[in-house]
Amino acid sequence: MTLNTVKGFLDNIEGQELAKIVKKCSHLGPCLEIGTYCGKSALIIGAACKNSENIAFTIDHHTGSEEHQIGEEYHDSELYDENIASFNTLPEFLRNLRNSNLQNYVLPIVGKSKEISKHWKIPLGMVFIDGGHSRKAAFEDYENWHPHIHKGGFLLIHDVFPNPNDGGRPPYEIFCEAKKSKNFKEIALVNSLAILKKVKI
């Protein structure tokens, strides 16, 4: 299968940068993705982990963010599960993972990011935040997960738009919050993919 057939919102240039960061942080610990959708970025991370002898965890409740619900801008009727009366990306994600032969490198966790973070003990080489874009969801993901990043590791945030006319504000706001904390140094902003390096604990 090719990545172009996988539903998702990460463009090819962002995907290339994501893969580069995964390889750079492989010696520090596993990667973690928050917000998986159908797995486009997870497959990129997984392939890079395979090449660098690392693993990635993905966290998603798989019932869609606010913008994926019926009547919202990014609702996809093909992903609505009539059997459970809910948006449901999990079957599509697992199918894509299986077809890519990356099951040994991408370990899905189905649940809410906030609840999972309470029990997390593993230092991480990279955290990629691409979950809910409400202010509450974005800040919870940032505040609950950035402490788990190993010094020298990376924080990546998707859908960061400095110009408010280009997209929603919460991902950009947590990007600014990370820089303001002095714990992270901005490395690059590639299209809408923000890349920061953790420089302080």
Give catalytic residues, as residue numbers.
133
Q: Across residues 40-44, what is the average pLDDT?
A: 97
Strands 86-87 and 149-157: unpaired
- Reference 24, options 43, 55, 52, 56; nearest CA is 52
Q: How many independent structural domains does the chain possess?
A: 1
- Reference 126, options 40, 38, 17; nearest CA is 17
Q: What is the pLDDT of residues 145-191, one digit of tens each?
A: 999 999 999 999 999 999 999 988 999 999 999 999 999 999 999 99
Q: Is the dihedral of CA 180, 184, 188, 189 positive or negative?
A: negative
pLDDT at 119: 97
The domain that holds 36 is classified in CATH as 3.40.50.150
Question: Which residues neighbour 161 within 8 Å (Cβ) at sequence distance 6 or greater?
Answer: 167, 168, 169, 171, 172, 192
Parent domain of 122: 3-198
pLDDT above 80 for 74 = no
